[in-house]
Amino acid sequence: MDELSRILGSVVANATPLVIASIGETITERVGVINLSLDGSITLAAMLSFVVAYSTGSAAAGLLAGMLAGMLIALLIVVASIELRQDQVAVGFVLTMLAADLAQFLGQNYTRRPGPTFPTVPVPLLAEVPFLGNFLFNHNILIYFSFLLLFATWYVMYRTRWGLALRAVGERPATAFARGTNVNRTRYLYAALGGALVGLAGASYSLAIKAGWANPPVMRGDGWIALAIVIFGGWHPVRVAFGAYLFAGLRILASTIQQTTDFPLVLVNAVPWVLMILTLLMVSSGAVDWLMRFTPRRLRWVVRLLALFGVRGQEETAASRTPGRLRRVLRNFLRSDPPGALGSTFSRE
Amino acid sequence: MSVEVRNIHKRFGPVHANNAISLHFEDGRIYGILGENGAGKSTLMKILSGFYLADSGQILVDGRAVSVASPEGAIRAGIGMLQQDPLDVGPFTVLENFIYGQPGAVRPDWDGARAQFVDLAGRLGFTISPNTLIEDLSIAQRQQLEIIRLLAFGVRLLILDEPTTGISAEQKTILFEALKRLAREDGLTVLFVSHKLEDVLELCDEVAVLRLGRLVGQAHLPVTTNALVAMMFGQELAPASRSDVVLGDSMLEVRELSLTSERVTIQGCNLSVRAGEVIGLAGLDGSGQELLTRAIVGLRRPAAGQVCVGGQDLTGKHYREYLAARVCFGAAGRLEEGLVSGLTLTEHFALVDPEQGAWIDWERARRIASEQIAHYNIYGRPESPIETLSGGNQQRVLMALMAAAPRLLVLEHPTRGLDVESSRWIWEQILARRAEGTAVVFTSADLDEIVTYSDRILVFYAGQISEVPDARRTTVDELGHLIGGQRLTKESVA
């Protein structure tokens, strides 16, 4: 039991950068901007955080530098999109490459050195609770922050006027404009916030979860994973966070299997990806109907069962035409359509 | 509240969309704003409601000049507009959509807003649950929601842009009742933009008619339809006469066809259409007409049954085989399904030209495009991207792209959103093909259109089909009953 608690605790810790980055990206995409630069921004932010913390001796200063870097990259994408009418995906992709290479180059003299980190701060009393203590309340403050972030994002998005404006801008900017929201300003604001969170995710690697800096960087590839998790989570902060924890859990499982058996290493590493592709297939609307067509009649119950788990197939949509409260909440939670205006620019007619 | 526009000018490039327009609106009255497509009515309304800025001119509310620089500013001045495609947010719930845009604290008062919404909806006779998602609502319900929302803002002048397009007759009655009550009891001023004369005659107290950007006439109702048409077009239109065409061989045979979608199911549908026959499909949107049109052109696989075109069994065959059997289809979504947004007219004609190979003979493509543009009277140039054309001209291009002398012509809402003259022109084209032996099947929400042009009518109600064997002896009234689900009596079937 104690062992399990510790394992779960390490899943939570390992998932934290992914949780923060993917929630940041969720906010960005929900307002209609694709920040594709995640893999580069996280790496660069991790490097800068470490170097600044190392030079100043202050982990907090490092954290701030990382957030600033993430925010600047995100703002570059929004400026290119809004002011220069450039494609967000193209700009984001180029920035991914640039930031990652820049991080390796600028950080080459700072590898493998001990620097300041965020220490573990057990929460008084709660950390002593059996099972839950090691699981949730024996971590550093960045991990506690990610819990808070998750709740706050959900609350603001679905329970406040700010959230209505945020979602409307990403979904249908013409409506947002007609209701008096300044579409471009809202995009700048939330893209900057999302970018800062991506930077924070980078800092949380080098200042806490995988402390230090190395060449090649340990977090490379995680940005793409965070982007995939946002899609997997259907742009809903709670589902996105769930995806991040699931992925981190599978990863730890994979590395355990790898240590104890002689199961082929490549296959074990591929498991999370295969699972992610399968899940994406299952949550995308229409996939179930498509699958049903190719499933022999005798096996269709399997697909139906999978569909119950989180999918909107034909049958489900027909039933939800007169939705009850629970069904509506569930449907809103499980919807997997991207924001309607994702990646587009808005201008007044 | 009285609202006045004075000497409004607005240009879009070379087009003078509003030319010195002055109008005065009194409270408690319903004004019809008439004009064909491109007459400038939408432009004027968008200026009034803050979506466009006028180049020059004034807007006065109760005699005082106001500046309406944004939709929000217009609402503050008491002017609100319901767009043809209501401006809401699909994944929002009705309540979220109602709250969004209202001033207030960061944490909205959900319960208070819900109570206000239910109260307003009840007063207007609208039935919408505040928890429904917007994307589950019909257009009519989204309009109702928008009206409720604007009234909650205290709007005193309500503009409705073509609100009766795409909604059912029942929903129209509900809408008109509510508008009349609002004008009479609350003194709301209503501007009703439309090119549907019968709607204007039914609802409005006064009309203003625009043509080519100018105000060409005003009248107190009632006036005759012909007088309005004369103002709109500068001439009176003669009613279409039905010519008798000798029916030929059977072109389409549908046997025991079953179709299912998430909304409706059609079972055991039988239909036989002969060369030169016109079949109108009537019914509320989503009653199953679309299932049938798509099944007979090979875009939807039937659950059971047979589809034969010209004696050839094409059940379950690929769309290409239907094309080869000379089946032509004009989809309801012109720009979504019929045409390719981003391609020019020349490119469209090159795309369907069987003579063109892998390397396109642009000389030939341009020549064909120019010929077709002249022949079909299309307002556009060979190099114009298709999406820059108006709806009527897009429909003309669709007609021009169809193969000559089809066996079966299937059209969904061929004249939706078109003005009277364009509609008439489109029908001339359809009837000319029919005279050459094409069998025609079309859907329409406009009952007059169905009655005017069909030989036989199929009325759809929740997937059930009733046939009106002789369209000449039916009336809009009778169809209205069928559409509402009241079955024919034995006598009228016989």
**What is the ipTM for the molecules in this complex?**
0.86
Q: Which domain holds residue A212?
A: 2-219
Q: Which helix (H) or strand (E) holds B306?
A: strand B304-309
Please report whether residue A145 resides in a domain.
yes
**B133 interfacial to chain A (CB closer than 8 Å):** yes
Q: Are residues A211 and A302 in the same domain?
A: no
CA distance B150 to B472: 44
pLDDT value of residue B92: 93
Chain A residue numbers touching B13 (CB-CB < 8 A): none
Q: Are residues A183 and A309 in the same domain?
A: no
Residue B304, SS3 per DSSP: strand
What are the tens digits of pLDDT across the range B239-298? 445 666 778 888 999 999 999 887 788 988 999 999 999 999 988 777 889 899 999 999
Q: How far is Cα of residue B54 from the mean position of the Cα atoms in its chain?
A: 27
- Closest-CA distance, B424 to chain A, in angstroms, reads 31
DSSP string, A251-319: HHHHHHHHHHS---HHHHHHHHHHHHHHHHHHHSTTHHHHHHHHS-GGGHHHHHHHHHHH---HHHHHH
CA distance B289 to B311: 23
CA distance B172 to B174: 5
Q: Do B89 and A171 touch (CB under 8 A)?
A: yes
Question: Of A168, A194, A219, which one is at a domain's C-terminal end?
Answer: A219
Question: Of A179, A197, A219, which one is at a domain's C-terminal end?
Answer: A219
Q: Which residues of chain A register pLDDT less than 50?
A: 310-322
pLDDT value of residue A312: 44
Q: Is B327 exposed, middle or buried (0-12, 13-18, 19+ CB in 10 A)?
A: buried
pLDDT value of residue A215: 87
The dihedrals phi and psi of B16, each to the nearest 5 degrees, come to -90, 90
Mean pLDDT of the B292-320 span: 90
Please report whether residue A346 resides in a domain.
no
CA distance A48 to A207: 11
Q: Are residues A332 and A186 in the same domain?
A: no
Domain count, chain A: 2
Residue B327 near residue B309 (C-beta atoms within 8 A): yes
Q: CA of A174: which chain B residue's CA is closest?
A: B87
Please report whether residue A206 resides in a domain.
yes
What are the tens digits of pLDDT across the range B317-353? 898 899 889 999 988 888 888 898 889 999 999 988 8
- Picking from A82, A317, A306, A203, the residue whose alpha carbon sits closest to that of residue B136 is A317
Please report whether residue A142 resides in a domain.
yes
Q: Do A323 and B104 touch (CB under 8 A)?
A: no
Q: Are residues A150 and A26 in the same domain?
A: yes
Confidence of residue B80 (pLDDT cuts 50, 70, 90): very high
CA distance B246 to B435: 8
Please report whether residue A153 resides in a domain.
yes
**B186 interfacial to chain A (CB closer than 8 Å):** no
| Count of residues making up chain B | 494
**A165 interfacial to chain B (CB closer than 8 Å):** yes
Q: CA of A162: which chain B residue's CA is closest?
A: B106
Mean pLDDT is lowest, of A209-218, A314-323, B302-311, B464-473, for A314-323
Q: Do B92 and A318 touch (CB under 8 A)?
A: no
pLDDT value of residue B489: 44
Q: Are residues A69 and A169 in the same domain?
A: yes
Strands B327-330 and B408-412, bridge-based pairing: parallel
Residue B154 near residue B132 (C-beta atoms within 8 A): no
More confident of the two residues B359 and A49: A49
- Closest-CA distance, B263 to chain A, in angstroms, reads 7
End-to-end CA distance of chain A: 62
Question: Of A219, A246, A267, which one is at a domain's C-terminal end?
Answer: A219
pLDDT value of residue A320: 42
DSSP B335: I
Q: What is the mean pLDDT of chain B?
A: 87
Q: Are residues A211 and A295 in the same domain?
A: no
DSSP string, A212-237: S--SS-TTTTHHHHHHHHHHHTTT-H
- Closest-CA distance, A126 to chain B, in angstroms, reads 31
pLDDT value of residue A268: 67
Edge-to-edge strands of the sheet including B312-313? B265-274, B250-260, B304-309, B312-313
Please report whether residue A308 resides in a domain.
yes
Residue B456 near residue B467 (C-beta atoms within 8 A): yes
pLDDT value of residue B236: 46
**A161 interfacial to chain B (CB closer than 8 Å):** yes
Of A164, A172, A177, the CB nearest to B99: A164
Chain A residue numbers touching B88 (CB-CB < 8 A): 172, 175
**B111 interfacial to chain A (CB closer than 8 Å):** no
Chain A residue numbers touching B93 (CB-CB < 8 A): 328, 332
Confidence of residue B223 (pLDDT cuts 50, 70, 90): confident
Q: Which residue has the tokens 């026959």?
A: B277
The predicted model scores a pTM of 0.75
pLDDT value of residue A316: 40
Please report whether residue A291 resides in a domain.
yes
pLDDT value of residue A69: 97
Mean pLDDT of the B437-461 span: 87
Query: Which residues 253-282 of B are in CB contact (within 8 Å) with A?
Result: 262-263
Mean pLDDT is lowest, of B80-84, B285-289, B450-454, for B285-289
Q: Do A171 and B101 touch (CB under 8 A)?
A: no
Residue from A155, A159, A160, A161 to probe the interface with B (highest B Cβ count within 10 Å): A161
Query: Which residues 264-323 of A are in CB contact (within 8 Å) with B?
Result: 314-315, 317-318, 320-321, 323
Residue from B92, B127, B153, B264 to probe the interface with A (highest A Cβ count within 10 Å): B92
Q: Are residues A208 and A327 in the same domain?
A: no
pLDDT value of residue B194: 83
Mean pLDDT of the B9-26 span: 88
Mean pLDDT of the B209-236 span: 81
Amino acid found at B195: H
Chain A residue numbers touching B108 (CB-CB < 8 A): 160-161, 164
Q: CA of B95: which chain A residue's CA is closest?
A: A164
Q: Do B133 and A177 touch (CB under 8 A)?
A: no
Q: Do A161 and B90 touch (CB under 8 A)?
A: no
Mean pLDDT is lowest, of A140-154, A308-322, B119-133, B195-209, for A308-322
Find the DSSP H helices in B133-251: 139-152, 169-186, 197-203, 225-233
- Picking from B316, B312, B372, the residue whose alpha carbon sits closest to that of residue B345 is B372
Please report whether residue A257 resides in a domain.
no
Q: Do A168 and B92 touch (CB under 8 A)?
A: yes
Query: Which residues 53-82 of B are in CB contact (within 8 Å) with A?
Result: 70-72
Q: Are residues A181 and A297 in the same domain?
A: no
Of B96, B105, B262, the CB nearest to A164: B96
Q: Are residues A320 and A189 in the same domain?
A: no
| Count of residues making up chain A | 349
Query: Cα dist. A324→A330, B52, B96, B116, B199 in Å?
Result: 10, 41, 17, 21, 37
Mean pLDDT of the B61-73 span: 91
